Homo-oligomer: A and B are copies of this chain.
Amino acid sequence: MLGLAGRPGWDTARVNDLGLSYFEDYVPGATYEVGSVSVDQASIVAFAKEFDPQPFHVDPVAAAAGPYGGLIASGWHTAALVMRVLVRNYLSAESSLGSPGMDEIRWLYPVRPGDTLRVRATVTEARRSLSKPDRGIVKTLIEAVDQDGQTVMRATGINFVRARAAPQTPDVGP
């Protein structure tokens, strides 16, 4: 099941189109165009009514007179949409072991109804866990860019990722 991403006829459900299936595949410096997601007014309002019902997220009329001159997506909605893209094509269901958090998240530019966001991921750090050597810790610079080239969100995510192989341990004989 190793390294089979994209080979027709193989079960590729456990890997993604980018071929990232285990910790060893996340190499610092590598950048991926992960995918894109569009957002419409109905979903902006629905998300915000449930989780972030501020006027500029839920009420188009109030939003037009508000600080952003129109309805904008909750930053949490933007983050969740970006996560959907990452889960589909950057993380692997086989190896993703969850996340302890984000080092930083910045909402840099409003996301408005009709926007399409491209998600870019750059591996910034990848190190084997000392306490649990069957996995590694991967840090990723995540950027979401709208159809006009504006970076709307930037964040540094941290993920626990299962390793394909045990770490190299020198001086271990048969």
Contacts and interface: CB of A to CB of B under 8 A. Distances in A.
A50 B96 contact: no
Contact of A80 (B51, B67, B84, B102): B51
Given A52-B84, A52-B87, A76-B79, A102 B100 contact: no
Contacts of A91: 54
Interface string A90-133: 01010011111111111110000000000000000000000000
Contacts of A74: 83
B98 A105 contact: no
Interface in A112-170: 160
A84 B51 contact: yes
A91 B51 CA distance: 13
A90 B56 CA distance: 17
Contact of A53 (B87, B99, B106, B160): B87
Contact of A84 (B50, B55, B68): B50
A104 B102 contact: yes
A75 interface: yes
Contacts of A4: none
Interface of A: 47, 50-56, 67-68, 72, 74-76, 79-81, 83-84, 87, 91, 93, 96-108, 160
